[in-house]
């Protein structure tokens, strides 16, 4: 059912507050220099206009890197930003509708935390999804309303049931990234581990080394 190859090794989700004075675009540039393979633009508090402006600045940083830019939830802004796709949650627009709006070339990801949600995703059929995000694996402060942590075993169960590559998110650190390699997921997603780091390039490089089995 996988439509295209997506490299989920190190998936960075932005947090404008955690990036601080350095800013999101510079943080993203540093993260990609350190080995990030996908970037999701997330800022639920931003107006649409501010979100588009931020997205355009981030996209500019990604030109020539080959790293896709994914928009969190705001499907109606993907085209204005020139992003490569969208990531939706269980309470956002249904992925099949997102696919219909964005066309076949877009990347579409979906958050799941249970096997039932994976089964529902499989019911969407071919050509809708490109990857799943599983979590939260561990508790995380960057999304206070998250559900109960699923742990590495939960991530492994999702990966085993999924027809698509799975990226694990929630409380991922350099120390934990290596352990997640054993669960069958295709990569790890981080927010604070990169956005709040003193040096985002070094943090990303450390995470990639852990994921790649070099630490």
Sign of CA dihedral 31, 72, 191, 111: negative
Alpha helices in the chain (DSSP H): 16-19, 24-34, 48-62, 78-81, 95-102, 115-122, 151-161, 174-180, 192-195, 200-211
- What does the alpha-carbon distance between residue 198 and residue 30 come to, in Å, rounded to a whole number? 11
Clarify whether 96 is annotated catalytic.
no
- What does the alpha-carbon distance between residue 164 and residue 185 come to, in Å, rounded to a whole number? 10
Closest by Cα among 116, 214, 186, 165 to 2? 165
- From 9, 111, 113, 206, active-site residue: 111
Clarify whether 111 is annotated catalytic.
yes
* Torsion angle, alpha carbons of 113, 118, 121, 127, to 10: 110
Q: Are 173 and 149 in contact (CB under 8 A)?
A: no
Q: Are 191 and 17 in contact (CB under 8 A)?
A: no
Tokens 């529902």 — which residue? 120
- From 3, 42, 59, 99, active-site residue: 42
Clarify whether 208 is annotated catalytic.
no
Q: Are 122 and 1 in contact (CB under 8 A)?
A: yes
- From 59, 143, 176, 208, active-site residue: 143
What is the set of active-site residues?
Answer: 42, 111, 143
């Amino acid at each position: 059912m996988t439509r295209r190859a997506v490299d989920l090794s190190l998936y960075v989700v932005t947090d404008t507050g955690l990036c601080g004075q350095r800013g999101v675009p510079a943080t993203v540039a540093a993260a990609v220099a350190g080995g990030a393979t996908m970037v999701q633009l997330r800022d639920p508090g931003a107006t649409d206009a501010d979100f588009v402006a931020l997205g355009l600045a981030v996209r500019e940083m990604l030109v020539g890197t080959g790293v896709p830019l994914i928009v969190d939830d705001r499907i109606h802004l993907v085209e204005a930003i020139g992003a490569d796709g969208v990531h939706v949650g269980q309470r956002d627009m249904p992925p099949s509708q997102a696919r219909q709006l964005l066309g076949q070339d877009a990347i579409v990801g979906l958050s799941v935390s249970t096997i039932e949600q994976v089964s529902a995703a499989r019911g969407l059929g071919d050509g809708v999804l490109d990857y799943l995000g599983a979590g939260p694996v561990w508790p995380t402060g960057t999304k206070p309303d998250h559900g109960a942590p699923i742990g590495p075993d939960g991530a492994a169960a999702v990966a085993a049931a999924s027809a698509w590559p799975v990226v694990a998110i929630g409380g991922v650190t350099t120390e934990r990234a290596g352990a997640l390699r054993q669960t069958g997921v295709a990569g790890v997603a981080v927010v604070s581990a990169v956005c709040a780091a003193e040096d985002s390039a070094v943090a990303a490089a450390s995470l990639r080394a852990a994921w790649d089995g070099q630490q």
